[in-house]
Amino acid sequence: MLETLSDLLYGFSVAITPINLLYCLVGVVTGTIIGALPGLGPSAGLAVLLPITFGIEPVSGIIMLAGIYYGAMYGGSITSILINTPGDSAAVMTALDGYPLTQKGRAGAAMGMAAFSSFIGGTVAIVAFTFLAPVLASAALSFGPPEYFALMVLGLTTLAGMTGDNPTKGFISAILGLFLAIVGLDLVTGLPRFSFGMMELYSGIDFIPVAMGVFGIAEIILASEEKVNMEGLKNTDLRWRKLFPTAADWARSKWVIARGTVLGFFIGMLPGAGATIASFISYGMAKKASKHPEEFGLGAIEGVAAPECANNAASVGAFVPLLTLGVPGSASTAILMGALMMFGLRPGPMLFERNPDFVWGLIASMYVGNVMLILMVLLFVPLFVRALLVPKAALNAVVIAFILVGAYSLNNSMFDVYLTIGFGFIGYFMKKLKYPGAPLVLALVLGQLLETSMRQSLILSGGSFGIFFARPISTVLMVIAFGAIFLPAIKNMISKLRAKNASV
């Protein structure tokens, strides 16, 4: 406990340097604006802005990326509330009551409640994270290759099985990601695989062009298809006074926020679940526990508080498996993991021992970032709203040019630019045909580590796959992973049986 506090203090000494504060601010501001753009969520924000962080110190880079991540998480709620157009899937539930509140002339209160509940959810989750992470990391120190392999399989199968409407398509997406990860020179033998004699492919396919294409370019094309009317933004009354929820609002929301925060944090830690599911469950719980469930959907203030505290708590919870185990559970954390690896850091339990300045600097910066976010929202919300009034065409054109230049700056090569455009094209069809992008990117990021840990395990066991079931932790993880594969089929069977019984 005391050790954790002194580590945290040390972290603050890293995070509160002027330059890191500046990066945090830039991250929060750009994240909020990108998150507010329809279609673009945290994963897009991270992918698009990632190249900017290459030239800077790793700790400053990750502080900025973390700022983009939770800035975008909040940003999604702005358009949800004001014009009924969620910026990303985690903000869908916020629109249900946020927009009716705007129609009632209470946009300010809804925006304020979204900001305060995000702040509370985020900050409480960071406190939980601060004390839980070191414990988990030290427990994970005993993990060997079989446990890591099992963990990665678990992360992939749960994400693939849970995102999207059709689990088959989720798994196809994950398998294609694994295939992309295979491309390039084999790490053990040096043999080229699927590189078609192209030198550029020898070093493998980078996850960044894929993420920028699938989450950036494809989403922009899709968002351009939809005509969004931003006119509603002009007339909202967002004076400073109006942003503070009333005492009655707080009375209705306080327990909702408390429950949503705890729930969000734990759901965020689970691989595959994440912020969207947390916001759905939190909203559902708030409605069930409410004395006035009939008001939900018509402008209940706690209908804004519930999803917003949960999705921010979940976004912090998602850092737990990423930093302590080195296994991300969502698209955004997969991109963060890829970024860490580009900085030359391998996320996982050793990170806490080898790079304490980095880990604790990041954790401390999350406290700072959350305070910064709420101050900015309260002080400059009208400015953010103004930023959204810039014609969407201009914003989209800027983002596309930014993506292409960012892709070039990865390796100073035009090949990455074309790769990004190509994945934008593929991503469009994936989205239209309902193949989720998250499993693809996660599998691509994890692919090489997955293959290495599998080979190491099998060398240890002399080629026997029994090793994955010979140790208790890896056995449990593998069983849950297989469960995640068959769960959709089992659920389907049960519901069919029920329907049959009901009709008899």
Partner 1 sequence: MKKADQITGALLLALSVYIALTGLSLELWWGDEGPGPGFLPFFVAVCLAILSLMLILSTLKKDNKVQGNVFSQEGLKLLVTIIGSSVVAGLLVNFVGMIVAMGLLAGFLVTFLAEERKIFTSIGMMVILPLVLYLIFRVGLDVPFPKGILGL
C-alpha to C-alpha distance for 437 and 434, rounded to whole angstroms: 9
Taking the complex as a whole, the smallest distance from the CB of residue 40 to partner 1 amounts, in Å, to 15
Residue appearing with tokens 């900001």: 115
- DSSP 8-state code for residue 53: G
- Regarding 26 and contact with partner 1 (CB under 8 A), the answer is no
Residue closer to partner 1, measured from CB, 174 or 363:
174
Show contacts of 219-222: CB within 8 Å, 24+ apart: 219/39, 219/40, 219/44, 219/427, 219/431, 220/39, 220/40, 220/396, 220/399, 220/400, 221/424, 221/428, 222/39, 222/428, 222/431, 222/432
Would you tell me the crossing angle of helices 58-83 and 92-103 to the nearest 10 degrees? 50
Taking the complex as a whole, the smallest distance from the CB of residue 71 to partner 1 amounts, in Å, to 18
- Regarding 194 and contact with partner 1 (CB under 8 A), the answer is yes
Neighbours of 338 (CB within 10 A): 24
- Regarding 269 and contact with partner 1 (CB under 8 A), the answer is no
Taking the complex as a whole, the smallest distance from the CB of residue 188 to partner 1 amounts, in Å, to 7
Query: Which listed range, 85-93, 292-300, 342-350, 417-425, lies at the site for partner 1 (CB under 8 A)?
Result: 417-425
Residue closer to partner 1, measured from CB, 197 or 463:
463
Binding residue (CB under 8 A) for partner 1 from 418, 469, 480, 483 = 418
User: Which whole-number Å values give the CA distances from 421 to 41, 159, 223, 399, 404, in the listed order?
Assistant: 19, 25, 17, 13, 8
Residue closer to partner 1, measured from CB, 356 or 488:
488
Helices (H) and strands (E) in the chain, counts: 22, 2
- Regarding 424 and contact with partner 1 (CB under 8 A), the answer is yes
Query: Which listed range, 93-101, 298-306, 316-324, 399-407, lies at the site for partner 1 (CB under 8 A)?
Result: 399-407
- Regarding 220 and contact with partner 1 (CB under 8 A), the answer is yes
- Asked if 260 contacts 309 with a C-beta cutoff of 8 angstroms, the reply is yes
Nearby residues of 364 by Cβ (< 8 Å), 6 or more positions away: 8, 11, 12, 14, 15, 16
Residue appearing with tokens 């240890």: 460
Taking the complex as a whole, the smallest distance from the CB of residue 418 to partner 1 amounts, in Å, to 6
Site string (28-47) toward partner 1, x via CB under 8 A: --------------------
**371's tokens:** 């305070």
- Regarding 401 and contact with partner 1 (CB under 8 A), the answer is yes
C-alpha to C-alpha distance for 22 and 440, rounded to whole angstroms: 33
- Asked if 67 contacts 22 with a C-beta cutoff of 8 angstroms, the reply is no
- Regarding 504 and contact with partner 1 (CB under 8 A), the answer is no
Which among 315, 263, 314 has a CA at the least distance from the CA of 284? 263
Residue closer to partner 1, measured from CB, 176 or 350:
176
C-alpha to C-alpha distance for 126 and 268, rounded to whole angstroms: 12
Judged by CB under 8 A, the chain residues 159 through 188 that form the site for partner 1 are 166, 168-169, 171-172, 175-176, 178-179, 182, 186, 188
Is the sign of the CA dihedral 404, 62, 80, 82 positive or negative? negative
Binding residue (CB under 8 A) for partner 1 from 1, 433, 502, 504 = 433
- Regarding 248 and contact with partner 1 (CB under 8 A), the answer is no
Taking the complex as a whole, the smallest distance from the CB of residue 431 to partner 1 amounts, in Å, to 10
**62's tokens:** 């990750």
Query: Which listed range, 328-336, 354-362, 454-462, 476-484, lies at the site for partner 1 (CB under 8 A)?
Result: 454-462
The site that binds partner 1 (CB under 8 A) totals a number of residues, namely 60
- Regarding 189 and contact with partner 1 (CB under 8 A), the answer is yes
- Regarding 423 and contact with partner 1 (CB under 8 A), the answer is no
* Interface contacts to partner 1, rule CB under 8 A: 51-52, 54-55, 166, 168-169, 171-172, 175-176, 178-179, 182, 186, 188-189, 191, 193-194, 217, 220-222, 224-225, 227, 391-394, 396-398, 400-402, 404-405, 408-409, 412, 414, 417-418, 421, 424-425, 428, 432-434, 451, 454-455, 458-459, 461-463
